[in-house]
Chain A
């Protein structure tokens, strides 16, 4: 292999691929070939680098220059200027606060420098399809240590001491889970990796599988040894084709190198992994529904107990761990439990990956120590609001979670603290809401999702969530009553108490938590027919301020129902009866003459 002068790490995470990574890569390759530099410059496609809002991204080493928002044209320019002549192309550099150009943001910008990467340690660093790069980053050394030097009990003890808790949502201690499966009688056991990531907006598991598939293979094999299983399954949704493709290739490589299969490292331990592709039902992330799905049955939860550790897949003792949880295992084995405990809190040690979304500047994937405050996470790492509008709350934990208002932003992020506030860490989705977001509408959004995803087994969840959704719809249309709010709360509590699985037990959370903190918004909708955030279409009207309108006709031209009238250079007017409240005029007006009012005009 010839020595390289530059290595380009180009982010091939899902978000960057959708924003055009492939065409950028093609342009790079074409231009590099044109200058006959293909032997001296290496291009490596890596996993998600985390800064999804500025993708497609790449980092050019050895300088470590970080380029963002790339296009094929940008790629050509970078080859000609940077790679050929060593001149950094400023146009595409990462820009910090106030447009300050930062060539090496990974060292200088809090979004990068405040992160502690354990589960995502190799993302954006190694080539996921090259097993040797994984080995270079200490890959499969933990497996060797476990199989040659440790007993299964010792492995379980290390994980227990580390305090690692399940990153999939419930936060159950991982070591304890392994112990239950180990102690469960039977000589046929199974190890499952739950990669059925379903929360809207959360994509850490996908990113890990895409960017570092070998860490999952290694961790599953370690877990298999610890619990006494010789067979593992990765249950991953069909919507993750790149993750499946890379994992399949990684499994092949692991077989070739002897990290999977018979008699691994001559230890006498044999283990193999198969991929099971799910059809993408939210409920299949629930472990017993997932087991049903692997068995070829309909994805519906089973009654617990018996727990999977007692009677799981094919009725045999089974252990299920989430992708991110597993990704923490090899480094804990290598560095020891105390190393892991240096981050996080006593009860929630280590780090957690969050997917930042919504009204926040740096959307993307971040891994931070547990116990960090929401304020640090949202303002320092997330960069705060992109528009300067006031951030109102953050929604955590997706459809199973709740909202946390701004006044609680100094709360440390750990399993217990967020639960106390009526939200959860969940799988790590964080949606930042500002003054333009209506809390009733947010609750409705998540409920719509659970109504769709309820498997239908339990009546309270199947019928109850639908009923709750209908009430929310009534409220947002201005037809709700105060009794509806009481009913909503009762119904929510009943569904929580009487559903079989986690989906139903948590489905009312978005409604209950918004009711807890933002009852005034609900009341404004039903009493005054007002939507304080001016979001609910039936409760607002668009009006033109005749003193500001210059009669440019932009609004009239863009209106899809032609309800805006007026002469050129004279104030225009909206026909409220014909207006469909699409907001097109509001967006197009350059004079700030159009505004929203609530309640709606008659």
Chain B
């Protein structure tokens, strides 16, 4: 660690760290909900979850919360993932393999376009 000599250095650390600290708290743009009931886990939701986290990290996204939920009731299309962006209609995706998870992050979260072929449902139940 080189010694900090300027306000810019200090700001840089603050902003970098704040990203991580902010992660803990709310005040985010939206969230990705991974259904992790027993069925979801059996279908590989754990790998999906890890893939989502990795992808978000890869694209340096810090304003999306990843949360786990219980079974959404769509057991035949597990693993399922729901994307809720503030001010937009929630989108539920099915058959979210780690590869598909990455596509969702890239296309929906980063670019803002839902991934058509994976959508199971749009809107609330």
- Interface of A toward B, CB cutoff 8 Å: 1-5, 7, 9, 35-37, 39-40, 61-64, 83-87, 126, 130, 132-133, 135-138, 140-141, 144, 148, 256-259, 261, 265-266
What residue in chain B is nearest A84 (Cβ atoms)?
Answer: B36
Minimum Cβ distance to chain B for residue A451 (Å): 48
Given A39-B50, A84-B36, check contact A136 B68 (CB 8 Å).
Answer: no
Contact indicator per residue, chain B 32-46, by CB within 8 Å of chain A (1) or not (0)? 010011000100001
Q: How far is the CA of A83 from the CA of B36 in the complex (A)?
A: 10
- Pairwise interchain contact B68-A86, C-beta atoms closer than 8 A: yes
- Pairwise interchain contact B3-A62, C-beta atoms closer than 8 A: no
- Pairwise interchain contact A258-B36, C-beta atoms closer than 8 A: no
Interface centre among B5, B21, B28, B65 (most CB of A within 10 A): B21
Residues of chain B with a CB closer than 8 A to A86's CB: 33, 36, 67-70
- Pairwise interchain contact A61-B66, C-beta atoms closer than 8 A: no
B interface, size bucket: 35 or more
Given A62-B25, A136-B13, check contact A5 B68 (CB 8 Å).
Answer: yes
Q: How many A-B residue pairs have CB under 8 A?
A: 106
Interface centre among A5, A141, A257, A265 (most CB of B within 10 A): A5
- Pairwise interchain contact A258-B4, C-beta atoms closer than 8 A: yes
Given A3-B23, A62-B67, A64-B26, check contact A136 B54 (CB 8 Å).
Answer: no
Q: How far is the CA of A281 from the CA of B1 in the complex (A)?
A: 39
- Pairwise interchain contact B36-A85, C-beta atoms closer than 8 A: yes
- Pairwise interchain contact B13-A132, C-beta atoms closer than 8 A: yes
Residues of chain B with a CB closer than 8 A to A36's CB: 46, 50
Residues of chain A with a CB closer than 8 A to B16's CB: 132
Q: How far is the CA of A3 from the CA of B58 in the complex (A)?
A: 9
What residue in chain B is nearest A259 (Cβ atoms)?
Answer: B4
What residue in chain B is nearest A148 (Cβ atoms)?
Answer: B7
What residue in chain B is nearest A143 (Cβ atoms)?
Answer: B10
B17 beta carbon closer than 8 Å to chain A: yes
Residues of chain B with a CB closer than 8 A to A140's CB: 4, 10
Given A2-B54, A62-B28, A135-B14, check contact A126 B21 (CB 8 Å).
Answer: yes
Q: List 17 A-B contacts (CB under 8 A).
A: A2-B57, A3-B57, A5-B65, A9-B24, A36-B46, A40-B50, A62-B23, A62-B26, A85-B37, A86-B68, A86-B70, A87-B70, A132-B13, A133-B20, A136-B17, A137-B21, A144-B10
- Pairwise interchain contact A135-B13, C-beta atoms closer than 8 A: yes
4 closest Cβ contacts across the A-B interface?
A: A258-B3, A61-B24, A136-B17, A3-B57
B49 beta carbon closer than 8 Å to chain A: yes
Which single member of B4, B23, B53 contacts A265 (CB below 8 Å)?
A: B4
B110 beta carbon closer than 8 Å to chain A: no
Q: How far is the CA of A132 from the CA of B4 in the complex (A)?
A: 12
Minimum Cβ distance to chain A for residue B35 (Å): 9
B18 beta carbon closer than 8 Å to chain A: yes
Residues of chain A with a CB closer than 8 A to B17's CB: 130, 132-133, 135-136
Residues of chain A with a CB closer than 8 A to B67's CB: 5, 62-63, 86
What residue in chain A is nearest B66 (Cβ atoms)?
Answer: A5
Residues of chain A with a CB closer than 8 A to B54's CB: 2-3
Which single member of B4, B14, B24, B36 contacts A7 (CB below 8 Å)?
A: B24
- Pairwise interchain contact A2-B53, C-beta atoms closer than 8 A: yes
- Pairwise interchain contact B5-A258, C-beta atoms closer than 8 A: yes
B56 beta carbon closer than 8 Å to chain A: yes
Interface centre among B18, B24, B57, B70 (most CB of A within 10 A): B24
Q: A62-B23, A84-B68 are in contact. List 20 more A-B contacts (CB 8 A).
A: A3-B53, A3-B61, A7-B24, A36-B50, A40-B50, A40-B66, A62-B26, A63-B67, A85-B36, A85-B68, A130-B17, A132-B13, A132-B17, A133-B20, A136-B13, A138-B14, A257-B1, A258-B2, A259-B4, A266-B5
Q: How far is the CA of A40 from the CA of B65 in the complex (A)?
A: 12
